[in-house]
Structure 1
Amino acid sequence: MKVTTPLIKAFVIFPMNIMGVIPGFLLWSSREGGIFEKYPLNFDLIRSFPGGLLIGFGASLCWVSVSLFSEYGGGGTPAPYDPPKLFVARGVYTYVRNPMMIGVILVLLGEAILSGSLPVFIWALIFFQACLVLIPFWEEPDLENRFGEAYLEYKRKVPRWIPKLKSEPRTD
């Protein structure tokens, strides 16, 4: 993946805040004397494996998704203010339409499980609810306008959230 200034900017604005800054603030606020003091952190060795697994898998899914945009998107980034110029429907995108968002949600759930933090778990649910609204009502209409019939066909074949067990063949 070619790391560019716009890609770094997109990472700092979106995933770093969603997966790092906000959960970090919530965890910091759970310390004694914090605003979420009544929801103390509860790190546990038993939860470290599933939490770490979700974080690792989710981060990998985000990385692969961004890499595909970077390599095949014809410039631009995953950020809405600088979108890819070309329609990307390969790799993980042949199994599910929103692998990057699924990756972010898995990271958030992993952070919540690993830390035993109710506020981080609630943040994961809030983020997922926002995705359930923004993707079909804002992102998908934008993609339909930009990529036309190619995106409409893709929508018919590839599910939004639950990955298919068999990928759709590439059409490019």
Structure 2
Amino acid sequence: MRRVSAIAGSALFFIAAPGMVAGLLPWLLTHRYRLPWSTLPGLVPVGWVLIVVATTLLLHAFARFALQGLGTPAPVAPTERLVVGGVYRHVRNPMYLAVLSIILGQALLFSSWALVAYAVIAAAAMVSFVKFHEEPTLARRYGVDYEAYRRAVPGWLPRLTPWRE
């Protein structure tokens, strides 16, 4: 039953958080454009690749929280276990990186400097949230396990080889 509620909670949070930050808000910033492509056609494929790859990684990261951690990414319903598998073996913050990549992919797709500026603001907010809330909370909750993971896996620039516990 815990797994079912973790999956349901993660699905709801997926719609509420990344759906808003990487979906609704970018749409509101770009909906005035009639054509869903860039004025620089060479950037359209790059934008689509960023969006598709980042969305796949985001879904993978959300699944890890529900299936491995038995919880959600939402601070109000955290995981029971520290999630360190899959994409988390390469980088500690794959969800944030995926959301930013989706926004930047849309910026390329629509040639939107507004989305580039929005991505910079979103990145600053995410880094601040991680630094001042998330990392201290995880350190308190998971103790030495989190500290070992934090020392071995970078927060923002993925390591090429996966970390092994």
Q: Same fold (TM over 0.5)?
A: yes
Q: Does 1:141 align with 2:136?
A: yes
Match of 1:10 in 2: 13
Q: Partners of 1:27 and 1:169 in 2: how far apart?
A: 42
Question: What's the TM-score, normalizing by structure 1?
Answer: 0.86
Q: Does 1:59 align with 2:55?
A: yes
Report deviation, 1:66: 0.7
Larger radius of gyration: 1
| Percent identical residues | 31
Report deviation, 1:31: 4.8
Match of 1:158 in 2: 153
Match of 2:24 in 1: 21
Q: How does 1:44-83 map to 2 (within 5 A)?
A: 44-74=40-70, 76-83=71-78
Which ranges of structure 1 fall in alignment gaps of 5 or more residues?
33-40
Q: Does 1:108 align with 2:103?
A: yes
Cα displacement string for residues 16-48 of structure 1 (whole angstroms, at most 9, x for unaligned residues) = 1001110010012x459xxxxxxxx84443211
Q: Secondary structure at the match of 1:45?
A: coil
RMSD between aligned residues: 1.9
Q: Partners of 1:22 and 1:47 in 2: how far apart?
A: 21
Match of 2:113 in 1: 118
Number of residue pairs the alignment of both structures matches: 160
Paired letter, 2:12:
K
Cα displacement string for residues 83-118 of structure 1 (whole angstroms, at most 9, x for unaligned residues) = 111111111111110111111111000000000011
Which of 71, 92, 96 pairs up with 2:91?
A: 96
Question: What's the TM-score, normalizing by structure 2?
Answer: 0.90
Paired letter, 1:50:
V
